[in-house]
Amino acid sequence: MLRWTCCLCTVGQVVHTLPEGEVVWAVTSLADEVYVLRRKVTLLGWRVRDQVEVYDVISYHLQRRLTVPNIEGLVDMTSCEHYRCVYVGDRGVECIHRLDVQGAAIRWAVNDQPWGLSVNAAYNLLVTCHYVRKIKEFSSHGDLLRELTLPDDVIHPLHAIQTRNCEFIVCHGVRDDAVHRVCKISADGRHIIKSHGGQRGSDIGQFDVPFHLAVDNNEFVFVSDDFNRRVTLLSPTLDYIRQVVSPEYLKWLPNRLCLDIHRRRLYVADNEWNLSGSARGRVVVFSV
Per-residue model confidence as pLDDT tens digits over 171-211: 999 989 999 999 999 999 999 999 999 999 999 999 999 99
In this predicted structure, what is the pLDDT of residue 55? 97
In this predicted structure, what is the pLDDT of residue 4? 46
- Amino acid in the structure at residue 58: I
Residue 188 CB contacts under 8 Å (≥ 6 apart), including other chains: 148
The side-by-side arrangement of strands in the sheet containing 144-149 is 114-119, 125-129, 134-138, 144-149
The gap from C-alpha 92 to its chain's centroid, in whole angstroms, comes to 18
How large is the C-alpha radius of gyration of the chain? Answer: 18
Q: Where are the beta strands (DSSP E) in 132-264?
A: 134-138, 144-149, 157-162, 168-172, 179-185, 192-199, 210-215, 221-225, 230-234, 240-245, 253-260
In this predicted structure, what is the pLDDT of residue 115? 97
Residue 124 CB contacts under 8 Å (≥ 6 apart), including other chains: 137, 138, 139, 140, 145
Decide: helix, strand or coil at residue 128: strand
In this predicted structure, what is the pLDDT of residue 157? 98
Residues of the chain with pLDDT under 50: 1-5, 7-8, 43
- pTM score of the predicted model: 0.93
Among 109, 135, 139, CA closest to 188: 135
Task: For residue 147, list its beta bridge partners.
Answer: 136
In this predicted structure, what is the pLDDT of residue 21? 92
* Dist. CA 95–CA 260, nearest whole Å: 26
> Which fold does the domain 154-249 belong to in CATH?
Neuraminidase (2.120.10)
Q: What is the 3-state secondary structure (H, E, C) of 185-220?
A: ECCCCCCEEEEEEEECCCCCCCCCCEEEEEECCCCC
Residues in the chain: 288
* Dist. CA 182–CA 253, nearest whole Å: 18
